[in-house]
Amino acid sequence: MKVNNFQGVTYGLIFSSLSVLTFSANAADGVEFKFSGQISRAITHADNGVDSDTIFVDNNNSGTRLRLKGKVDISESLSAGVYWETQYQDNSSSSIDIDDSDNASTFTSRIRDLWFKGNWGKVSLGQGNGAANGTSEVDFSGTTIADYSGNNLDDGISFANSSGSKIVKNGAAFSNFDGLSRNDRVRYDTPSIGPLDLAFSVGQDKSEVAARYSLKMAGGGKLGAAVGWVDSKDKFSQVGLSASYLMPNGFNVTGHWGEQDVDGSSVDPSGYYLKVGQKFGSTKNQNVSLGYQQVDDLAAAGDEATRYNIAYVYHIPNKGIELFAVAQKAELERAGANLEDQTMLSIGSRIKF
């Protein structure tokens, strides 16, 4: 079978990693490894108020990716492992716009991490999740593949004025002020203190602190909350927090708030997100939600960006398959710009393996 150079490199990396793990498994007792991944695609019809287009995208809410995990028990109280994950996308929804031709494929290094875990907690070293990553995204709605506080499905669509000029991309106007995502750092997670978990990470010119709370209740209900603080030296600091409550009958409510303090600026961008949802069906595998988000002063001082979402996700039980549909309206108020409203309709699926 012929492959182009890029595919050859990609397959080489995958098979090289598998062979290394296989060798390790043969060389030591008790080594375990797992290969997994997902394909995540959508068809989006977007209208920026002047032009419209139907776009075939990789859903960057949770993109197409491959991962390898390895673990070995060193003793009864100490284990170690590795975590490798890469993302490979065509037409990422966070970058492709109306009237764009197909974007080039993008290869993103997400996680290259090693860790040690014991009764004292867990230490991770490498490129991986910062301590605060995900603290703005606690969400029990079951619709996050279609809509959540950091929604990326329409980030590539630009707001346009009445003459059709594209002024600013959706993704520049919205943020959930989450942690620094994945970066090179050393991270420490404390042992759980009842329902509370604490984490700290330090990288080059950056640091993060986070607290997470999780409580399961009788009847299948649960409550979760998190708060994260980020300091990116000489750039900005920010705080983000979120909470979600799922009732035993499937009704759920989710909220997020965040604020950023930009060094050298008198304007502090901020925003919030609210969602109500309902899980139904015999196994609560059908999920619907209504979401609203507002972000101020992010792309430019005085901006007010808002968006409204209605999402539906069908989870095929125990198969790792989701089918979804989402409709959205987005608005950006900017002094003197007279920007048109956006509308978007997407349908798609994510299949995990």
Task: Work out the pLDDT band at 28, boundaries 50, 70, 90.
Answer: low
Q: Distance between CA atoms of 64 and 193, rounded to whole angstroms? A: 35
Looking at residue 322, its amino acid is E
The pLDDT score that the predictor gives to residue 348 is 98
pTM of the model: 0.88
Mean pLDDT of 143-167: 95
Q: Where are the domains of the chain?
A: 1-30, 31-352
- Alpha-carbon distance 43 to 59, whole Å? 9
The string of DSSP letters for 214-266 reads EEE-GGG-EEEEEEEEEEETTTEEEEEEEEEEE-TTSEEEEEEEEEEEETT-S
Over the Cα atoms of the chain, what is R_g? 21
CA dist list (Å): 342 to 50, 164, 291, 305, 308: 9, 12, 16, 11, 11
Q: Residue 1's pLDDT band (boundaries 50, 70, 90)?
A: very low
- What's the pLDDT tens digit per position in 300-335? 999 999 999 999 999 999 999 999 999 999 999 999
| Rounded-to-integer distance, Cα 53 and Cα 158, Å | 12
Dist CA 230 CA 199 (whole Å): 12
Beta-carbon count within 10 A of 177 CB: 27
Between CA 143 and CA 286 the distance in angstroms is 9
Q: What architecture (CATH level 2) is domain 31-352?
A: Beta Barrel (2.40)
Residue 283 has pLDDT above 50, yes or no: yes
